[in-house]
Structure 1
Amino acid sequence: MKWFLKLLLLFSMTTTTIAQTDFKAHQLTFERVRTAYKEKWPVLKTELETAGIKEAFNLYIVAYKYESRLEIWVKDRNKKQYQLFKAYSFCANSGTLGPKIKEGDLQTPEGFYHVNAFNPKSNFYLSLGVNYPNGIDRLRSGKEKPGGDIYIHGNCVTVGCIPLTDEKIKEVYVLAVEARNAGQQQIPVHIFPFKMNTANLNKQLPRFPQQKNLWETLRVGYDYFQKNKLIPTVTELNGKYIIK
């Protein structure tokens, strides 16, 4: 029985390693991904090591619409907290503050999401899909079609996505592949209307009073991360985010 358990454990470890390695290997079969790795990975790897990230890391992506800013946070598996690694400016914007409600409204979503697709053959060079709409988005849309196909991508055009330029998306895409390949099954993407401090809320709420409930809920998640440098646990219940 002992030898069988050892064999089963070895098999489990082997298949896990293969499954993780296969993701990056598959991505590298695409020319644009190979180009991104060739151009960006040597420098990124050195920058990660300089930042103290020498082992497998987890990735957290956070976007601020008003500031047109995308931040990349990383956490070494052996460390407790995330640290800011990179920040990129959006190269185009569409819509205004407030969540996406329906197809064609040009709005960029606001809420708690995760990467649900890696697209190495995107019409916008490379792209990472965001799992909009979630249950809260669908409920908010009511009878309207909520829309979809929200991506972080290259190029500089948008009707609700987050465009970064081809050069910037190469870096973000490579980092996401590395995190996924190291075993991070879900990469959080949190999209906020702005940096959700008191001053910004007091400035923007008079302009968008209808967003008060949503923004105050988003702020709970924002504040949790700012205080702890850890990603909050977010669930959905009866059309609301529950944050712990």
Structure 2
Amino acid sequence: MAIKQLALVAFVALSLAACEEERYRGASRHWIPIPSATYALMSEKGMNKDQPVLIRSYKKESELEIWKRKADGQYALLKTFPMCRWSGQLGPKVREGDRMAPEGFYAIAPQQMNPNSSYYVSFNMGYPNAYDRAHGRTGAHLMVHGACSSAGCYSMTDDQIGEIYALVREAQNAGQKAVQMQAFPFRMTAKNLAQHRLDPNIAFWKNLKEGSDYFEVTKDEPAVAVAGGRYVFNGGSALAAVAEKRQQDETEVASLVAKGTPAIRLVYDDGDQHASFKQALMSNGAAALNRSAAWASKDVGVSREEALAVGPRVAVLDANGRTKATVRAASADNDAVLAAVTAAPAEEPAKPAPAKAEPAKPAASGPAAATQVARVSPGQALQAPVLASATSTPVAPAEEKPFLQRALSFMPVFGSSTSADQGMTTGSTPVASASPAAPTSILAPLPPRRASSLRTSNLDQATAGYASQTTTR
């Protein structure tokens, strides 16, 4: 019996090895070496290739960080990579096809590594995770890959993703079961939180900050769970220190707001890239952003180059979160955003209500009379300002009455007459008056009131419709 069990175990082990071998058969890219310069950097920082790694990414700053856990159990920053491309807007991915790159806490297991990607090499972030599923979010195959082209992914150059892939692979080969990726909209600084305090996603971002605070205080990977539709992070002995950091940040945010930090919302044409790549793209074209090697990704080009030519639009928000001005920033950098906000047009002052017209004055002595035209202002009684007066022209006889009088003479008269020189009304009915030689009382109905046109301020949304890659990234 024992022999049969040993044989079964050996068979299963051989089968798994065969699957692993088959999985990477012909995929020599899986064995991309860690660059020698990175080995030297690890040595300087007291790290080695087998230690666990952790990934942090930031959309607004277009950066991706690789952290390594040292011998003392704490993570330390190994290297920061400028991001070549991400698509969509700041905020979480919600549905398939929205071009949004995920935000949240994700785990990358060995089976999510893809050396056969059409975008050089890649790994699947694990979207949707438990949080995403709890909120009914849809989408699949959201990756970190090469080729500098994104339709909902975080895209690096081929050289960058090769190095990142190799670092993750070596940590997994040494026993790390899953690599945590913390994907943020921006660095969780007091300045960013103060600027984006009225963004519709701020509650979600503050929830992400709880995990970020734990990592930054302890330099240890937070344990992540989902309860009540929120991320929940372990506290332990560090709970008090994490709470203290949160309180300090909230105090700093309040201070920045009190000093006049504007509330904004960034609206991208379609994502962004690091300034270093943007400069290379504008100077030397898309070919400068990918290496030309035998393993290079297919020639897909940089996605939506035209969306990278300028920085995002900055929507300046009022106290209720409504847009009161929109300006274009040179980049997403805080200084460029602040410069754009400073240059934003001032709010238009409220227009004063139109002054009431003076009542018509009695005509001068003599047989002449003033020619008057009735005018209606919304919400006001009918007024009769004098448009022209004839002081020397005799009044036409009855059969040659002025046109207005002849036109109004067909209208019936209700109630008592009023004095023409005061422009008064009879009861609640406005009265239009003319002053011929012989006073005549004539009533005219009000013309229909025009509805005042309302102006609304809407932000143009980033264009959609780009077909996302679903099976090869």
**TM-score, normalized by the shorter chain, greater than 0.5:** yes
CA distance in 1, matches of 2:114, 2:99: 22
Provide Cα deviations, 1:101-131, integer angstroms capped at 9, x if missing partner: 0000010111110114000000100001111
One-letter amino acid of the structure 1 residue matched with residue 216 of structure 2: Q
Indicate yes or no: 2:167 matched with 1:175.
yes
Q: Which residue of 1 aligns with 2:58?
A: 64
- What's the CA shift for 1:238? 2.6
3-state DSSP class of the match of 2:107? strand
Deviating more after overlay: 127-136 vs 47-56: 47-56
**Relative to 1, partners in 2 of residues 1:228 and 1:66: Cα closer, same or farther, differing over 3 Å?**
same
**Relative to 1, partners in 2 of residues 1:55 and 1:136: Cα closer, same or farther, differing over 3 Å?**
closer
**Relative to 1, partners in 2 of residues 1:52 and 1:23: Cα closer, same or farther, differing over 3 Å?**
farther
Across the two proteins, how many residue pairs are aligned to each other?
218
One-letter amino acid of the structure 2 residue matched with residue 98 of structure 1: G
CA distance in 2, matches of 1:99, 1:185: 26
Q: How does 1:101-112 map to 2 (within 5 A)?
A: 101-112=94-105
Q: How does 1:3-42 map to 2 (within 5 A)?
A: 30-34=27-31, 36-37=32-33, 40-42=34-36
CA distance in 2, matches of 1:243, 1:165: 33
One-letter amino acid of the structure 1 residue matched with residue 205 of structure 2: W
CA RMSD in angstroms, aligned pairs only: 2.5
Larger helix proportion, structure 1 or 2?
1
**Relative to 1, partners in 2 of residues 1:138 and 1:54: Cα closer, same or farther, differing over 3 Å?**
closer
Q: Which residue of 1 aligns with 2:81?
A: 88
Contact 2:55–2:180, Cα closer than 8 Å, also in 1: yes
Provide Cα deviations, 1:152-193, integer angstroms capped at 9, x if missing partner: 111111011000110000100000010000000010011011
2:125 maps to which of 107, 130, 151: 130
- What's the CA shift for 1:54? 3.6
CA distance in 2, matches of 1:234, 1:199: 26
3-state DSSP class of the match of 1:60? strand
- What's the CA shift for 1:231? 1.2
CA distance in 1, matches of 2:100, 2:174: 33
2:40 maps to which of 42, 46, 61: 46
In structure 2, runs of 5+ residues without a counterpart are: 1-12, 235-473
One-letter amino acid of the structure 2 residue matched with residue 44 of structure 1: T
Q: Which residue of 2 aligns with 1:148?
A: 140
Q: Which residue of 2 aligns with 1:6?
A: none
Contact 1:41–1:174, Cα closer than 8 Å, also in 2: no
- What's the CA shift for 1:211? 1.2
- What's the CA shift for 1:30? 2.0
- What's the CA shift for 1:202? 1.1
Contact 1:70–1:90, Cα closer than 8 Å, also in 2: yes
3-state DSSP class of the match of 2:211? helix
Indicate yes or no: 2:192 matched with 1:195.
no
CA distance in 2, matches of 1:33, 1:104: 29
**Relative to 1, partners in 2 of residues 1:201 and 1:175: Cα closer, same or farther, differing over 3 Å?**
same
Larger strand proportion, structure 1 or 2?
1
Provide Cα deviations, 1:49-104, integer angstroms capped at 9, x if missing partner: 2211147301000101111110000013x322101001111111211111000000
Contact 2:64–2:82, Cα closer than 8 Å, also in 1: yes
- What's the CA shift for 1:199? 1.3
CA distance in 1, matches of 2:48, 2:56: 22
2:209 maps to which of 203, 215, 219: 219
CA distance in 1, matches of 2:212, 2:171: 22
Q: Which residue of 2 aligns with 1:3?
A: none
CA distance in 2, matches of 1:55, 1:115: 17
Q: Over alpha carbons, which structure has the higher Rg?
A: 2
**Relative to 1, partners in 2 of residues 1:133 and 1:190: Cα closer, same or farther, differing over 3 Å?**
same
Contact 2:49–2:170, Cα closer than 8 Å, also in 1: no
- What's the CA shift for 1:224? 1.2
Deviating more after overlay: 132-141 vs 122-131: 132-141
Contact 1:135–1:239, Cα closer than 8 Å, also in 2: no
CA distance in 2, matches of 1:125, 1:49: 28
One-letter amino acid of the structure 2 residue matched with residue 213 of structure 1: A
Q: Which residue of 2 aligns with 1:12?
A: none
Contact 2:49–2:167, Cα closer than 8 Å, also in 1: no
**Relative to 1, partners in 2 of residues 1:54 and 1:212: Cα closer, same or farther, differing over 3 Å?**
closer
One-letter amino acid of the structure 1 residue matched with residue 41 of structure 2: E
CA distance in 2, matches of 1:120, 1:227: 35
Calculate the TM-score normalised by the size of structure 2.
0.43
3-state DSSP class of the match of 1:121? coil
- What's the CA shift for 1:28? 8.6
CA distance in 1, matches of 2:73, 2:114: 31
In structure 1, runs of 5+ residues without a counterpart are: 1-14
- What's the CA shift for 1:32? 1.7
Aligned-pair identity (%): 35
3-state DSSP class of the match of 1:158? coil
3-state DSSP class of the match of 1:57? coil
**Relative to 1, partners in 2 of residues 1:55 and 1:125: Cα closer, same or farther, differing over 3 Å?**
closer
CA distance in 2, matches of 1:221, 1:48: 26
Contact 1:126–1:169, Cα closer than 8 Å, also in 2: yes
